A = this chain, B = another copy of it.
């Protein structure tokens, strides 16, 4: 048997959709498919802020890989990829090595530190199931400590969010819902708790329509979230942060800084000698590494230029998922030597941000949506992804149905 070996590294949006689609498109006699992932589950990165705030249990956010792959068609290896050798066509993991004929890299993102002092050591990240449930626990632990100390420490009740982009705003919205519950749980006055979003730009949610941004701000401020714009995070320590605004430095005492600003691709790419910028490879139009036509790159490790704007598309779940579909089709074409590969063309349906508590805002098909209709659409799009991944059964098991509250 000399059938081609396809290895998919990473079971995020891009890698897992590639796998699930590929197992339908090709037969076992055509190729062997191996999926490598650090955990035995896939998680929805776009839901993690809810796990971090504590408004949704992380088990709702993760999906057992065995529930969506067909074990007769896909080998699953639970291990962490540490290096790729494109010349030898090998992937090295913590506990082994595997060779490939075609490789799909979907190794996701890492926080970027922008040279901010103490950020990597002291800030928390909404990055994985592990890191997100730690944020939930960390906040609860600080609230639990508060009434056990005779000298009250405000840093236990202050939460700072670094970055007023998509994740920062969505996280703030969930915290606004969660904090009154936490205050009740730990006998703390709501007025003592402060959540501050520190944003370097002149506004939060840059790139969104100003009316939508205004709507989001009103929604969050009315629920007690504070904002500092044109404010630059300078230092993060275990119990405070320093930001600079209008050339003045300000300190906030806090044990909880959540970094929700810049991310970059997996550092495995740079370590493996790929030609990267912020750990992303500018891929070919069919999502391949320009230097190795047996390597596809999907999701946050891939940069795809938006020809209209002259800037790369932002790294979203929507695009990663669409990359997975494209990549599976192209792998099938290559294996069958059928035809040329297809160019990846993103189909941007819109962007919706949830604001917590059933509120949301965004644009769908060029139309602005606010409040309930936006929230319903947002949840529908989350459910649609589950449908694509695992059919109706998965939607029923992990879907979001709290749209009537």
A residues sitting closer than 8 Å to B (CB atoms) are: 129-131, 133-134, 136-138, 140-141, 143-145, 147-148, 185-187
Contact = CB atoms under 8 A, between A and B. Distances in A.
Contacts of A145: 134, 137
20 contacts: A129-B187, A130-B144, A130-B147, A130-B148, A131-B148, A133-B144, A133-B185, A133-B186, A134-B144, A134-B145, A134-B148, A137-B137, A137-B140, A137-B141, A137-B143, A137-B144, A137-B145, A138-B141, A138-B144, A141-B141
A138 B148 CA distance: 12
A257 to B, nearest CB: 16
Contacts of A187: 129-130
Contacts of A143: 137
A123 B185 CA distance: 23
Nearest first, the 10 A-B pairs at minimum CB distance are A137-B144, A141-B141, A134-B144, A137-B141, A130-B147, A130-B148, A134-B148, A137-B140, A133-B144, A131-B148
Stoichiometry, as copies per complex, reads: 2
A44 to B, nearest CB: 17
A133 B145 CA distance: 9
Nearest to A128: B148
A221 to B, nearest CB: 29
A130 B149 CA distance: 10
A126 to B, nearest CB: 13
A130 B185 CA distance: 11
Nearest to A184: B59
A131 B130 CA distance: 26
Contacts of A186: 133
Contacts of A131: 148
Contacts of A185: 133
A148 B130 CA distance: 6
Contacts of A140: 137, 140-141
A79 to B, nearest CB: 15
A81 to B, nearest CB: 15
A130 B145 CA distance: 8
A143 B8 CA distance: 31
A230 to B, nearest CB: 33
A137 B147 CA distance: 13
